[in-house]
Structure 1
Amino acid sequence: MDRQALGFCGPGLMGAPMIGHLLRAGHAVQVWNRTPAKAEALVAAGASVAPAPRALAVNADVVLLCVADAAAVEAVVFGEQGLLGAGAAVRTRCIVDHSSIPPDVTRALAQRAAALGVAWVDAPVSGGVAGAQNGTLAIMAGGAAADVEAVAPILSAYAARVTHMGAVGAGQTTKLCNQAIVTATVCAIAEAVSLARRSGIDAAKLPEALAGGWADSTLLRTFVPRMTQDGLEPIGALRTFQKDVETIAAAAAQTGTPMPVSGAVQQILRLGAAMGLADADFSGFVEILQTPRGGA
């Protein structure tokens, strides 16, 4: 793998372990985060800290983003101190966005970057925190074939595979397909856990009982323990699932795609937010469904 000078914005639950893999692969990585302490925590591993995103564009050949939403992506790239903010001297020739944002927003941002001579690869990921930690993420990429091919060796530091899905925006659309499957499945698992509990059986034994059958899956084995045990570290917040499902709904409306299951999940997540569970772990679906007997 070619060792390159890289920038990385967003060392959070996913970004921090991804940066660790890049450093171990021998890349020089400069990091920026809105909360400086999260960036500074990576100095001991070999990263350097940038005072603002603009500094990354001056020093890095490729800048990778892993931030919360479309507004954050736009601010990091085109804000006053952004990577491509007005008057910025730019060494960067490609931005790789691991954030999950709407495909149409991605295309608009990529056009603005292209006008400044900077390529854009939308590269959302799947595999969760464990995948980031283990370096086994699945990356679905959108962009020019040459641009995806150029950054693939970098992404291989933390991805088991990088699949080129088409032009800019195609990666984000693929991630919406992924999230439609994931959120519906986690919701179904929560329903199964609730049914098991109310039927007087040990819900924690569902993965064992269903192992090898059609219901067996990574999600089943991940989320039943999270729904039946206390004290586990969170791996994400329901507000993230809600953001993604709202984006799915918008894409479905734009394309005339009927998605009744995602629509039901959307309403359950909105209910969870109204219940004050927006910051609950992904497994918080089961809390939304825990209406006391006789209370509904």
Structure 2
Amino acid sequence: MVQSSQRIELGFVGIGRMGLPMTGRLIAAGHTVHVWDIASDRMDAAAKAGAKAAKHAAEVADRAEIVFLCLTDGAAVEEVVFGSDGIALAHGPEKVVVDLSSIHPDGTRSIAARLKAANGMAWIDAPVSGGPKGAAEGTLAVMAGGQEVEIERIRPYVLAMGQRLTRMGDVGAGQTTKLCNQIIAACSMVVMAEATRLAVNAGIDATRLPEALAGGFADSIPLQLFVPRMAKGVYEPQIGPVSIILKDLDMIADVARTNGTPLPMAGLAAQMFRLLKAARGSQADVLEVYKLSEPRRS
């Protein structure tokens, strides 16, 4: 874990499956972290880890110099920033919001500009890749958009939660990079489901595919983690609900329409996940895409 020599007041809004372990890593690095979440049980869990509970998001922003957000979607970010008791009501000059959520790049740019006009707070979009496991282990990859000076200011604190922070450009660039990540991740899961099903149907032990393919061109972290889970039917704890990957794939399609990018593979992956949602519900784990090819039993 990277230790920052400067101890400042930090804030964290959104104490879910990702936010709680990330908050814990900031506390373990010696920082004071003020937190707020709409769910009281999450607040209790953060307090047990050593966080300081706030009454609302505006109070977090009043207390902290840097405020991290980790929320489900753009609507949640909008509400936390501009809703009643939102961050926009706090004293903002010289402070910065770091949004770890995955939301639309256009929405990011709009929120950033409106918040700057409202109270002077700077904005960095910094979505992450690595899932709850990466959040717990501090191995997240963080892709950021914003002013270089602000990104360097937050770097020591981000690296208490992840292993890499890459500035990709101005505000919105981090979110666009995350969409690129999601194209690769979504298509990979669909392809791995096909390969796993082929192995099972052919009568070989699919759980040994990661061992057999390790070091080759097909090897990857998702292959090593996900193929055994598909083959064994292990979907708890969740990698993530299908509703989240569909949210991202819909954003990808929207961005691609505006700049004329063809997306044949991402489009097919989206339809596979839409089938999964229709068959098993919005909270089905994304790896359950493997179940769509189960042979019918007579």
Residue matched to 1:6: 10
Q: 1:91 to 1:23 in 2, by over 3 A?
A: farther
Question: Does 1:235 find its partner at 2:234?
Answer: no
Deviation at residue 240 of structure 1 after TM alignment: 1.0
Given residue 161 of structure 1, which amino acid in structure 2 is its aligned partner? R
Whether the 8 Å CA contact 1:57–1:92 is kept in 2: the answer is no
Partner residue, 1:30: 34
Match of 2:110 in 1: 108
* 1:229 Cα deviation after fit: 2.3
C-alpha contact (below 8 Å) 2:93/2:121 kept by paired residues: no
Alpha carbons of structure 1 residues 234 and 92: separation in structure 2 relative to 1, 3 Å: farther
Classify 1:217/1:233 alpha carbon distance in 2 versus 1 (closer, same or farther; 3 Å): same
Among candidates 152, 155, 158, match of residue 152 of structure 1: 155
Distance (Å, rounded) in 2 between the aligned partners of 1:156 and 1:22: 9
SS in 2 for 1:146: helix
Structure 1: unaligned runs, 5 residues or longer: none
SS in structure 1 opposite 2:135? helix
Count of aligned residue pairs for this structure pair: 292
- Residue number in structure 2 paired with 1:248: 252
Q: What is the aligned partner in structure 2 of residue 96 from structure 1? A: 98
SS state at 1:42 partner: helix
Q: Distance in 2 between matches of 1:276 and 1:283?
A: 12
Instruction: Give the deviation of 1:288 after TM superposition.
Output: 2.6
Q: Does the CA-based 8 Å contact 1:58-1:91 persist in structure 2?
A: no
CA distance in 2 between partners of 1:64 and 1:131 (Å):
17
The equivalences for 1:14-163 within 5 A come to 14-85=18-89, 88-90=90-92, 93-115=95-117, 116-163=119-166
- Mapped partners of 1:215, 1:62: distance in 2: 40
Unmatched 5+ residue regions in structure 2? none
Q: Tell me what 1:287 maps to.
A: 291
Q: Deviations over 1:228-257 (max 9, x none)?
A: 224542232111111111111111111100
Q: 1:211 — aligned with what?
A: 214
Partner of 2:265: 261
Instruction: Say if 1:62 and 1:92, in contact at 8 Å, map to a contact too.
Output: no
Alignment of 1:151-230 (within 5 A): 151-230=154-233
Taking the aligned partners of 1:183 and 1:193, their CA distance within structure 2 comes to 16
SS at structure 1 position matched to 2:60: helix
Contact 2:140 2:161 in 1 (8 A): yes
CA drift at 1:263? 0.4
Counting aligned pairs with the same residue, the percent is: 47
RMSD of aligned residue pairs (Cα, Å):
1.5
Give, in whole Å, the separation in 2 of the partners of 1:192 and 1:89: 54
Counterparts of 1:15 and 1:289 in 2: how far apart (Å)?
A: 34
* Aligned mates of 1:203, 1:280 — CA distance in 2: 22
The two structures have a TM-score, normalised by structure 2, of 0.94
CA positional deviation for 1:36: 1.3
How far did 1:18 drift? 0.6
Task: Output one character per residue of 1:118-146: Cα deviation in whole Å (capped at 9) or x when no partner.
Answer: 10000000111111111111110000111
Structure 1, 279-288 or 148-157: larger mean CA deviation: 279-288
Alpha-carbon distance in 2 for matches of 1:289, 1:126 = 27
The secondary structure found in structure 2 opposite 1:84 is helix
